[in-house]
Amino acid sequence: MKRILIPTDFSNNSWNATRYALDLFKEETCTFFLLNTYTPAIANSRFMASTINGGQIDGVLDISENGLKNVVKRIEETCLYKNHSFKTISSFSLLVDEIKDTVERKQIDLIVMGTKGATGLKKVTMGSNTGDVITKVKCPLLAVPENAVYSKPKEIAFPMDFYLGYDVKVLDVLIELALLNKAALRILHVSKKGEELSEEQSKNKEFLEDYLMDVEHSFHFVSGTKLEVAVQCFVESRSIDMIAMVAKNLNYFQRILFRPSVEQISYHTEIPFLVLHER
C-alpha cells in the first residue's frame, strides 16, 4: 500500500494537486494523508509564541479541521476511488517541520503539493513553501503547477548530466511510476556545442541503460543552447507529461526548477515535476 502525503491550504491550487494525485494513483491501493498546518500570525515569531492564548489556537484549529473535512467531502463527491482511504492531520506547527515529522511517523512514500508557477524574468517559478519542502525534506515529491491538467502520463522527461553522485536506487520511484502508467522515460542531456561525453559519463549512460531495461526509454542529446530552453523545446516537441529530476544535483536541478532565466519558459507552469530524493 502506497502512503501519500498531500499538504493543503484549501486553495484551488491545493485542490488541483489533490485531484491530480488521486487520478494518477487511481489504480493503486493508497492511503492519503491530508495535512493542514496552522500558525496564528502572532506565532510566526518564536519570541511571541508564548503569548498566544487557548482561544486563538482553538479558533484556527476549528478552521483547519473543518477545512480538512470539506476536502474529504469534496473527494467523496467528485473523485473517490474504492482503493483509496484518507486520514486528516491538523497541526499547530510550521509547514516544513510538520511535513518532516509526518514523513517519518507515517512512513510516507511520496509528497504531492501544488505550486504556483510564474512565467518570465525575475518572477518566482516555484512557490516558496513547495521550494522549501523540496530542498529540506528528504522524500520524493510531486510538484503540481496550478495550470496542470491531469492526463495519464505517456512520456516522462528526465534531464540529467550523466554524473551519478547518488545511489541509483533513487530512480526506483521514477521507474515504478513509469511502469504503473506504461509511460516511456525520455532522458535528456544538454551540453555545450562540440562537447562530448566524458569516459565517466559514457559509463554511467551504459549503466543507466541496463538499470532501466524494464522501462521503455530513450536518450536524447541537445547541444549549443541554454539548459532551460532545451527543456522547454523538448517538452513541447514530445508532448511531455511530467519532468523528473534528482534533487542531489543542486546546480543542474535548481537551474531547471527554480531559476529559468528566459522569458519564454513556461514548462514550470504546466508540467508536474517529480523530485527524487535519496532516503
pLDDT category of residue 132 using cuts at 50, 70 and 90 = confident
DSSP state of 276: E
Residue 233 has what pLDDT?
86
Residues 150-158 have a mean pLDDT of 95
Contact between residue 263 and residue 120 where contact means Cβ atoms under 8 Å apart: yes
Residues 153, 239: Cα–Cα separation, whole Å: 10
Contact between residue 129 and residue 136 where contact means Cβ atoms under 8 Å apart: no
Per-residue pLDDT of 172-201, as tens digits, reads 999 999 999 999 999 999 888 778 899 999
Domains of the chain: 2-108 (3.40.50.620), 155-265 (3.40.50.620)
Residue 123 has what pLDDT?
38
Per-residue pLDDT of 18-48, as tens digits, reads 999 999 999 999 999 999 998 755 445 444 4
DSSP-assigned states of every residue in 202-264: HHHHHHHHHHTTTS-EEEEEEESS-HHHHHHHHHHHHT--EEEEETTSHHHHHHHHT---STT
Residue 103 has what pLDDT?
97
Query: Higher-confidence residue: 231 or 39?
Result: 231
Residue 268 has what pLDDT?
67
Backbone angles phi, psi at 112, to 5 degrees: -120, 125
Indicate the helix (H) or strand (E) that contains 274: strand 273-276
Amino acid found at 166: Y
**Who's near 6: CB < 8 A, 6+ residues apart?**
14, 17, 18, 21, 32, 33, 34, 35, 111, 112, 113
The alpha helices in 25-164, defined as continuous H runs, are 54-78, 95-105, 128-136
Backbone angles phi, psi at 181, to 5 degrees: -105, 5
Residue 40 has what pLDDT?
57
Residue carrying C-alpha cell 517519518: 104
pLDDT category of residue 119 using cuts at 50, 70 and 90 = very low
pLDDT category of residue 147 using cuts at 50, 70 and 90 = confident
CA distances from 205 to 163, 165, 197 (A): 9, 13, 9
Give me the percent of the chain exceeding a pLDDT of 90: 56
DSSP state of 139: S
Residue 41 has what pLDDT?
53
Residue 247 has what pLDDT?
82
Per-residue pLDDT of 48-102, as tens digits, reads 444 455 555 667 888 999 999 999 999 999 888 999 999 999 999 899 999 999 9
Contact between residue 272 and residue 20 where contact means Cβ atoms under 8 Å apart: yes
pLDDT category of residue 110 using cuts at 50, 70 and 90 = very high
Query: Higher-confidence residue: 267 or 112?
Result: 112
Indicate the helix (H) or strand (E) that contains 88: strand 84-91
Q: Is the pTM of this model over 0.95?
A: no
Residue 166 has what pLDDT?
80
Residues 234, 97: Cα–Cα separation, whole Å: 36
The grid cell for 194 is: 562540440
Residue 46 has what pLDDT?
47
Contact between residue 235 and residue 243 where contact means Cβ atoms under 8 Å apart: yes
